[in-house]
Structure 1
């Protein structure tokens, strides 16, 4: 379940907005040139839609610069006036599109964020650990190296009276180092509330580390099969294991909401609803607790919105009836997301086939009243 409040500032800016999803992959020798060509095509499209040259000039150096993200990646750009308001490289390829519109087109970005999580990755051995805090779009946010003591770090089979003494010292030192790593992780999780802790490396060090984790860490931890702390470890395999762990975690986290939605759309409940018009009506009253969409949610139907993101209606007449005379038309998916973020609601993306959602959208409600539709 994702709260996208960090995107709220984009809606407080004065539009219209350029939003661009640009394939920024540079995996071949001609990759940089190909990115420039793709941007040139998008720039022409945006200019034809009315985007001013000053704004496109501001976006261009960001669009054509290396993202620093290896492999397939998509650059998401939002700008207004003469400023770049948002830029982020998303792992993987999102279908390219660009628009110049009154509302930022953040639907594809929200879908991506709804299917991933921030995480902490720990490469651990018996001397300490490398700890990376990774944001939901795969961006590195913090790196920490924990170094423990290394004296008598390996058990020795010297025999005689000294054998047990050396063995005991080694085990104590391993445990001390693992405890230091666990303390660091507990601090990070307490400060960030990151829901996934992925650990790879030495088996015994990992066992000791997990024994000393706090409650939050024990709930979040997943042991990966691949990787290690030594140079030459297969980081590609680690990243694949991380992706699988994230996917499994997202499914687990959405299961409760899926079951609640099924229950609340039953006769006599009314705590959930589905359909574009019904969700719009709930957003008008800030009723929506969780917006529910499918991974292929892409609704270019026109709805009408006002200057305030919570001002949303299925047609112009309804918006005027709400007292909004300076409204404008917008894509439905962009407008629904705008109102969701403005009212501090969550967004979840459920795999196709798990729920039957009219128009590809549904909502769990904070409350229901006499006007709330019921199944």
Structure 2
């Protein structure tokens, strides 16, 4: 996963207030706004107890609950520093628990995990309820969305909606197929998911450009999508659950290949930190352990990262702080333009939960 979306956050100096909370406004709650406000009050107290400055807390308060136009279950991630908003993002699902943290570095790992697996896709739903014949009356309705899963749950991608007279469907399917190819290319889609009427969708799939046909998966029983949410959301949830994006999978395969021949790969926290200090990491692999108590020492710059305070001071860094390991690793990755891949433990258990694909092998390790 490319972490460029975090770059604006790290352009600001800390300390940061980092807040994650459930801001769902489903109809089951009598007064959802009051519920959001109550949860925020608990988090505000937590920030105050950690020494957050009043201006940063006020800046969070201005943004909490501003997502009234986002339907369904979801959450917010809010980051502020020195009384100013540093980053605001919608969470595709509510956080497992509301949290607030004030520290030198922003607590970004929960946001990154919510964006995974970041699969680029094209979803298509074709509807036709009449007699299966191009001589029949009525229309074929087609909806399509190009986006990145699961972000499209709360941030809709490009949407296409067309209604075609059924008599024109054979010809129109060619035209629409070429248009869909353009949108798929723009998002670099790795999956094309098609649902709806078997006859109408079959014609469309057969007329899609060859570059898309090989990526098609058809699903049944698409159901109605909630306005403002991802097209075919529930089917995509089932289809993409436990799956890695193709780009991340390729990086992981490269890591395993390098590891097998003692090449440009490292495993374990110490080895990963050493590689980040020298800007050698192409991609870092993490098993997600939100309960982890691992800590690292950091300084003002992204490469100021070490296992101990003494090590960091030995490099001439005077302003040092101890922070959560995942927060320190993330800042180093963004600062060195490296990628991050969240690896499910059932796919690969990494030593200390950390592995790294390196930009080049260490010459001293070569025979």
Give the match for residue 110 of structure 1: 112
Preserved CA contact (<8 Å) 1:200 1:227: yes
Preserved CA contact (<8 Å) 2:20 2:78: yes
**Please, which of 328, 353, 356 is the counterpart of residue 321 of structure 2?**
328
- How far the C-alpha of 1:10 sits from its partner, in A, is 0.8
Matched position secondary structure for 1:351: coil
Give the match for residue 369 of structure 1: 362
Give the match for residue 119 of structure 1: 121
**Please, which of 144, 157, 160 is the counterpart of residue 144 of structure 1?**
160
**Please, which of 119, 124, 144 is the counterpart of residue 131 of structure 1?**
144
Give the match for residue 344 of structure 2: 351
Preserved CA contact (<8 Å) 1:146 1:180: no
Residues 358 and 249 of structure 1: is their aligned pair in 2 closer, same or farther, counting only changes over 3 Å?
A: closer
Residues 12 and 296 of structure 1: is their aligned pair in 2 closer, same or farther, counting only changes over 3 Å?
A: same
Aligned partners of 2:179 and 2:186: how far apart in 1?
11
- How far the C-alpha of 1:61 sits from its partner, in A, is 3.2
Segments of 5+ residues of structure 2 without an aligned counterpart are 128-138
Deviation track 1:45-67 (CA, whole Å, cap 9, x = no partner) reads 11222222222222213213344
Aligned partners of 1:128 and 1:118: how far apart in 2?
24
Aligned partners of 1:210 and 1:289: how far apart in 2?
38
Preserved CA contact (<8 Å) 1:297 1:360: no
Preserved CA contact (<8 Å) 1:178 1:205: no
Does 1:79 pair with 2:72?
no
Residues 292 and 67 of structure 1: is their aligned pair in 2 closer, same or farther, counting only changes over 3 Å?
A: farther
| Matched length | 349
Give the match for residue 198 of structure 2: 203
Aligned partners of 2:208 and 2:214: how far apart in 1?
10
Does 1:99 pair with 2:115?
no
Give the match for residue 131 of structure 2: none
Aligned partners of 2:184 and 2:231: how far apart in 1?
25
Matched position secondary structure for 2:329: helix
Scaled by the length of structure 2, the TM-score of the pair is 0.84
Preserved CA contact (<8 Å) 1:21 1:77: yes
Give the match for residue 134 of structure 2: none
Aligned partners of 1:52 and 1:101: how far apart in 2?
11
- How far the C-alpha of 1:264 sits from its partner, in A, is 3.0
Matched position secondary structure for 2:119: coil
Preserved CA contact (<8 Å) 1:128 1:177: no
Matched position secondary structure for 1:250: coil
Residues 310 and 35 of structure 1: is their aligned pair in 2 closer, same or farther, counting only changes over 3 Å?
A: same
State which structure, 1 or 2, has the greater radius of gyration over its C-alpha atoms. 1
Deviation track 1:254-293 (CA, whole Å, cap 9, x = no partner) reads 5554444444334x51322221111111111222222111
Deviation track 1:164-214 (CA, whole Å, cap 9, x = no partner) reads xxxxxx3xx212221222122111122222333322222233223223333
Give the match for residue 157 of structure 1: none
Aligned partners of 2:272 and 2:366: how far apart in 1?
10
Give the match for residue 294 of structure 1: 287
Residues 252 and 143 of structure 1: is their aligned pair in 2 closer, same or farther, counting only changes over 3 Å?
A: closer
Segments of 5+ residues of structure 1 without an aligned counterpart are 154-169
- How far the C-alpha of 1:14 sits from its partner, in A, is 1.8
RMSD (Å) for aligned C-alpha atoms: 3.0
- How far the C-alpha of 1:12 sits from its partner, in A, is 0.9
Correspondence list, 1:1-375, <5 A:
2-27=1-26, 28-94=29-95, 95-125=97-127, 127-135=140-148, 136-137=150-151, 138=153, 139-148=155-164, 150=165, 153=166, 170=167, 173-227=168-222, 238-247=232-241, 249-250=243-244, 255-266=249-260, 268-370=261-363
Preserved CA contact (<8 Å) 2:222 2:235: no
Scaled by the length of structure 1, the TM-score of the pair is 0.82
